[in-house]
C-alpha cells in the first residue's frame, strides 16, 4: 500500500502534515517550484568550487578547522568524513515516529533552495520515507549547536550506505535496507554533508513528539479532574463562564468550558447544590486557571515549533539570486530549547495538580469518602501507597522541569562557545509525560472509586461513560491487592486515548 503523500512546496508544513508523518509512514513529493529553487542553489555551490573564494564547509574544514583550505580533489572526502566522524551519538534509539518527523523536517528545510544540495539528495531522503527505511538514530550526543550534529550524522550514514536502519520493525544494515529498496547510496557533493548535519530537525521532532503526547494527557487530566470534583461532592460554580470572562486568558476559558461540558447533567452535583461547603481546595476549583495556563503554554510551544519546522537551519546559507554564501547561526536551537523547557513546565504542572486531587480524595476530612478510599480501612490500606507513588512522580517531574536552556558547555575547542542544549531539553520530556500519565492514572482510579461510593447517584453522561471504561479494565477496590497491576491496565487504556475526549476541541493550533 502506497503511503499518503505530503507535498513540499511554498506552502508551509501544516499540523496535519506533521501529525501524518508522526503517526504513520508517509511519502513526500516535491513541487516543481521547489525543485527549481534547489537546482539553482546547487548550481551556485558548483560555481563556488570552480572559483578561488573560501566558503565554509564547501572548501574549508569545519568548526575550529574552518581556516583550513581543502583542495578540489578532496571535496567529496571532506563531506564523507564529516558524516562518519560526527556519527558519535549514544543512548537509546529514537522512535520510528520521531525519525519520520526528522526526515520530513530535513526535506522541508532543504527544499527552500538555500542549502546548496542537489535534488538527488532530497529524492533519496524522500525514498527513505516512502520505503519506511528509518535510520537508527541514538538519542544522546547533541548540544543543539551547530544544530543536531551527531544524531543527524547517524541519519546521514544511512544515505551513504553505512550505519543501521529499521525496516518494518527490524534493524538491518543500511546497505541491506537500501539494496532491498533499490536505492543507490549517495556520494555527497560539496556542502551536502554539512547541509545534512547542520539543522535543528532532531530537537524539533523530539519536542513535537512530546507535545502530541502531552495533548492527550492534558485532555485526560481535564476529564479526570472533573470526575474528582464529583467524587468529593465538589462544586461546579468555579467553572462558571462569568468568572473566566473577567480574566480572559484563552486557555483558562477553554479549560473551564471543557470541564463544564464534561460535568453537564451530573446527578451527583445536583444532589448537593445547597450543601454547607463554601469552597473546594485549590486543586479542584482552580483547575481552569492552572490547566488554562498550561494550555496557553502549549499553544505558544506549538507556534514556535511550527515556525521551526518551516525554517532553514543549516549553514552557510546560499542565495542563488546573488551568488552569495552567507555564514550565520540559524543552526542554534535556542528557540527549540526554550519551547522544550516551556513544555516541561506544563507537563509538570498538569501532574502536580492531579497528585494534589488524589491526596485530597484519600483524606476523609476533605473528600467525605472512606479513609484511603476503601470500605474497611485499617485491615486494608486502600489507595494510601498509590498516592505516595503519585507524590514521588510529581517530585521527580519538578526536578526534570528545571530549564536545560540555561546550561551551556563550549565545544569544538571554544569555537562553538555557547550552545542551546535543545536536544537535552527535548529528551527529558517523554519521561516527564510518562510520569504525568501515571499520576493521572492514579487519580483516575481514585476518582472512579469515589464515584462508586456515591452510588446510586449518577454522574454526567460523559463521566459515566469514562467510569464504565475504567471498570472494564480495573475492578472496584473492595480489598487490598497489587496496585501496580491495576495501574498497568489503566495506563494501557489511557495510552489508547480513551479519556482524551476533549482533545480535538482544545488543540486546534493556528497554521502559518
> Which of 337, 425, 432, 404 has the alpha carbon at shortest distance from 140?
425
Residue 306 backbone phi and psi in degrees, to 5: -70, -40
Crossing angle between the packed helical segments 149-159 and 119-130, to the nearest 10 degrees? 90
The pLDDT assigned to 160 comes to: 98
Residues 379, 372: Cα–Cα separation, whole Å: 12
- 300 has which bridge partners? none
Tally Cβ neighbours within 10 Å of residue 99.
Answer: 26
Please, which residues have CB within 8 angstroms of residue 234's CB and are 6 or more apart in sequence? 228, 280, 284, 285
The pLDDT assigned to 70 comes to: 81
- Reduced to 3 states (helix: H, G, I; strand: E, B; else coil), residue 326 is strand
The pLDDT assigned to 4 comes to: 77
CB 90 within 8 Å of CB 140:
yes
The pLDDT assigned to 153 comes to: 97
The pLDDT assigned to 50 comes to: 83
Catalytic sites, residue numbers: 56
The pLDDT assigned to 292 comes to: 98
Residues 199, 151: Cα–Cα separation, whole Å: 10
The pLDDT assigned to 185 comes to: 97
Crossing angle between the packed helical segments 429-453 and 201-231, to the nearest 10 degrees? 10
8 burial via Cβ count (<10 Å: 0-12, 13-18, 19+)? buried
Strand duo 164-167 + 317-319: pairing: unpaired
Sites in the chain below the pLDDT cut of 50? none
The pLDDT assigned to 56 comes to: 77
The pLDDT assigned to 11 comes to: 95
The pLDDT assigned to 1 comes to: 62
* Single pTM value for the model: 0.96
Using the 8-state DSSP alphabet, how is residue 434 labeled?
H
Amino acid at each position: 500500500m502506497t503511503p499518503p503523500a505530503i507535498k513540499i512546496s511554498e506552502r508551509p508544513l501544516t499540523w496535519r502534515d506533521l501529525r501524518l508523518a508522526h503517526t504513520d509512514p508517509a511519502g513526500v513529493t516535491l513541487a516543481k517550484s521547489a525543485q527549481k529553487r534547489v537546482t539553482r542553489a546547487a548550481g551556485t555551490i558548483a560555481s563556488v568550487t570552480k572559483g578561488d573564494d573560501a566558503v565554509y564547509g564547501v572548501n574549508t574544514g569545519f568548526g575550529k578547522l574552518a581556516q583550513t583550505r581543502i583542495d578540489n580533489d578532496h571535496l567529496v572526502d571532506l563531506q564523507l568524513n564529516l558524516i562518519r566522524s560526527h556519527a558519535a551519538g549514544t543512548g537509546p534509539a529514537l522512535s520510528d515516529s520521531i525519525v519520520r518527523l526528522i526526515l520530513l523536517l530535513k526535506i522541508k528545510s532543504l527544499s527552500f533552495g538555500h542549502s546548496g544540495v542537489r535534488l538527488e539528495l532530497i529524492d533519496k531522503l524522500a525514498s527513505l520515507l516512502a520505503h519506511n527505511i528509518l535510520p537508527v538514530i541514538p538519542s544522546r550526543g547533541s548540544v543543539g549547536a551547530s544544530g543536531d550534529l551527531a544524531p543527524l550524522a547517524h541519519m546521514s550514514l544511512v544515505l551513504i550506505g553505512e550505519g543501521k536502519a529499521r525496516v518494518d520493525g527490524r534493524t538491518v544494515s543500511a546497505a541491506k535496507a537500501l539494496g532491498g529498496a533499490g536505492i543507490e547510496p549517495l556520494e555527497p557533493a560539496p556542502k551536502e554533508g554539512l547541509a545534512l548535519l547542520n539543522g535543528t530537525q532532531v530537537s524539533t521532532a523530539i519536542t513535537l513528539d512530546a507535545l502530541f503526547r502531552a495533548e492527550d494527557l492534558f485532555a485526560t487530566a481535564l476529564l479526570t479532574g472533573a470526575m474528582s470534583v464529583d467524587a468529593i461532592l465538589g462544586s461546579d460554580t468555579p467553572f462558571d463562564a462569568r468568572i473566566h470572562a473577567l480574566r480572559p486568558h484563552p486557555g483558562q476559558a477553554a479549560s473551564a468550558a471543557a470541564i463544564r461540558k464534561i460535568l453537564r447533567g451530573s446527578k451527583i452535583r445536583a444532589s448537593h447544590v445547597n450543601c454547607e461547603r463554601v469552597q473546594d481546595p485549590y486543586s479542584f476549583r482552580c483547575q481552569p486557571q492552572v490547566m488554562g495556563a498550561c494550555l496557553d503554554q502549549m499553544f505558544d510551544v506549538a507556534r514556535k515549533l511550527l515556525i521551526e519546522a518551516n525554517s532553514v537551519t543549516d549553514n552557510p546559507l546560499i542565495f542563488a539570486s546573488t551568488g552569495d554564501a552567507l555564514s550565520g547561526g540559524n543552526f542554534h536551537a535556542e528557540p527549540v530549547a526554550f519551547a522544550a523547557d516551556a513544555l516541561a513546565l506544563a507537563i509538570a504542572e498538569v501532574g502536580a495538580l492531579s497528585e494534589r486531587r488524589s491526596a485530597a480524595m484519600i483524606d476523609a476530612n476533605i473528600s467525605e469518602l472512606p479513609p484511603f478510599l476503601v470500605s474497611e480501612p485499617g485491615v486494608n490500606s486502600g489507595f494510601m501507597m498509590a498516592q505516595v507513588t503519585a507524590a514521588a512522580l510529581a517530585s521527580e517531574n519538578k526536578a526534570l522541569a528545571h530549564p536545560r536552556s540555561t546550561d551551556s558547555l563550549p565545544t569544538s575547542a571554544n569555537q562553538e562557545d555557547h550552545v542551546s542544549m535543545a536536544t537535552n531539553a527535548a529528551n527529558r520530556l517523554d519521561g516527564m509525560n510518562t510520569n504525568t500519565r501515571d499520576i493521572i492514572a492514579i487519580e483516575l482510579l481514585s476518582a472512579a472509586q469515589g464515584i462508586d461510593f456515591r452510588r446510586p447517584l449518577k454522574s454526567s453522561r460523559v463521566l459515566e461513560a469514562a467510569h464504565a471504561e475504567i471498570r472494564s479494565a480495573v475492578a472496584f477496590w473492595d480489598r487490598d491487592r497489587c496496585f501496580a497491576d491495576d495501574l498497568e491496565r489503566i495506563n494501557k487504556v489511557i495510552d489508547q486515548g480513551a479519556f482524551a475526549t476533549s482533545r480535538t476541541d482544545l488543540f486546534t493550533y493556528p497554521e502559518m
